[in-house]
Amino acid sequence: MRGEGEELTRAESGNAKTAVQVNEAHFIIVSSSSSSSSSSSSSPPSFAVMTESQVSRECDYDHSMPQDEFFEELDDGGGSEVLPDVWQPLDELLSLHPKYHAVFKSAIDQLFYGNGPLPMTERHYIALMAANRHACSYLMDLHRREFDRLGGDADWLNGLTAAPSKIVSLDAINRVLGHQPWSITVEQLKALTKCSAPDNWSLTELVQGVVILSTTHALCSFVFGCGNINPSELTPQEMEAPMLRRSPRSSEESPTGEVEELMKRMAALRDVTNGLDCTDEEKARHFFDMNRESSAIRPEQNGDKKSGRSPPRPGAQFTKDLSFTYVDFAQRPDASSAPTLKIHDFSWEDQGYSCVDELYQVISEHLDRKFHLTQELTYYTMGKHTDVDTSKYRTAVWMYIQSLYGIRHDDYDYAEVNLMLTRPMKTFIKTICCYPERVTDSLRASVMVDFKLSEKVHVILMILEARLQAELLYFLRTVVRLNNSASVAS
């Protein structure tokens, strides 16, 4: 669905650029200067405390370079990192989208094996904690093996009771980010960063730790969404057929007409001038209406239906409070303290990127490329049809995913989601996002029946990246608030 040849575009930030600066006292300040000013000017720049709407993004790389040139670099050897064999089971599905695969491998290589404030063994242990929130056996096995291979303390594998208190302290934020990211608070970050050594986290360490947690949560969604991604001791033949490949029908054999119906709806939406017939108040109402409707979608509960008992969870010793799970955003108990996150007030492009770039620079560009590539990638196909503009469908999928976490894009009309996504498709997306461990073979087989395998994988990649971005936005917004409170206190 998203593709190889499409050039990605970025809005230029204009002449004025803003740089986020963070010092060890945990202050964030903003330095504004004109691009025409000389860097050698003797007059000092003016500084102000950063607010959530003030921080503009400033990238390290040249925005004037077309994105297709960047992807040509990947084809010529850029992004050609070779990950350890334990990551290999992901390759079959990710290789359906070579350009994303290259960016993904580069990001994973940097996050778990590249430069960073945390030792590599601790990175894998943190990922093991995150994978445990969704009982993802493949990822738990992967990070347990890597922790052991890289020389980690074997006692830690007995569970959190044997791990250092600094690592254990991250479990609370692991729970919150993995299930209810909107409820993260400044107090939780203070508890991690303001405590006494050796248990305190620097902001740089915390950002890397949270990127690991959020990436692993999102990878759980991908693994369960695709199905049959297993530990690497299985033979290639045993890993050969992912569950997604087992749809009872294919577009060549017995098309259901879902693709044709989607194409009609996309064409109808394109015929209407976007936004002119819908006021801001109506857009807001459509968002909240959709949130309430989504609350009625109840993913299946695993376990014995007669007894109501859930099956035993593997490796439950690596996290606490397994009863803490996702709740529908519209039904959250702390609605007054956790309002909707409006993307115009805090977005990845305008604020999130800059925060990560200042605190953990080596990963910011990797995240940025993955987010933009996943949304913009298109092969202009849908099922057996070619030359199809799938932008309306792709946008609806991304918007619905982030709405599950209370993120609202102010300029989008969420009535389009109901036109693009059927109730079974919403159920699939919600399950993969919020309860990935509950997905069933029948649920996978019930949606996207006429889609190509690569198109199904692309949808699940959007789930991965939209969920990852949602968790990071709530965390980074809280980091900004933490720093602002510290600046005001001083």
What are the tens digits of pLDDT across the range 221-278?
A: 999 999 876 554 443 433 333 445 444 444 444 357 889 999 999 988 887 755 456 7
CA 313 to chain centroid, in Å, comes to 24
Residue 166 has pLDDT above 70, yes or no: yes
**136, 220, 226, 434: which one is catalytic?**
136
Q: Quick one: which H or E segment has residue 28?
A: strand 28-34
Residue 8 has pLDDT above 70, yes or no: no
Q: What is the pLDDT of residue 39?
A: 36
Structure tokens at 313: 């969870």
Looking at every residue in the chain, the average pLDDT score rounds to 79
Residue 310's domain comprises: 1-490
Q: How many angstroms separate the CA atoms of 289 and 276, rounded?
A: 20
Q: What is the pLDDT of residue 240?
A: 36
Q: Which position has the higher pLDDT, 184 or 34?
A: 184
Q: What is the pLDDT of residue 311?
A: 55
Q: What average pLDDT score do residues 48-58 get?
A: 36
Least confident of 285-289, 355-359, 440-444: 285-289
Q: What average pLDDT score do residues 40-59 get?
A: 34
Number of domains in the chain: 1
The pTM of the full predicted model, rounded to 2 decimals, is: 0.81
DSSP state of 302: P
Q: What is the pLDDT of residue 256?
A: 72
Closest CA to 83 of 102, 56, 59: 102
Residue 108 has pLDDT above 80, yes or no: yes
Q: What is the pLDDT of residue 68?
A: 53
Residue 313 has pLDDT above 70, yes or no: no
Q: What average pLDDT score do residues 328-353 get?
A: 86
Q: What average pLDDT score do residues 345-370 get?
A: 96
Q: Where are the alpha helices (DSSP H) in 252-378?
A: 258-271, 280-295, 353-359, 361-376
Is 136 an active-site residue? yes
Q: What is the pLDDT of residue 308?
A: 46
Q: Which residues of 304-315 are buried (b: 16+ CB within 10 A; e: fewer)?
A: eeeeeeeeeeeb
Helix (H, G, I), strand (E, B) or coil at 122: helix
Pairing of β 28-34 and β 16-22 = antiparallel
Closest CA to 372 of 465, 454, 464: 465
Q: Are 379 and 458 in contact (CB under 8 A)?
A: no
Residue 147 has pLDDT above 70, yes or no: yes
Q: What is the pLDDT of residue 361?
A: 94
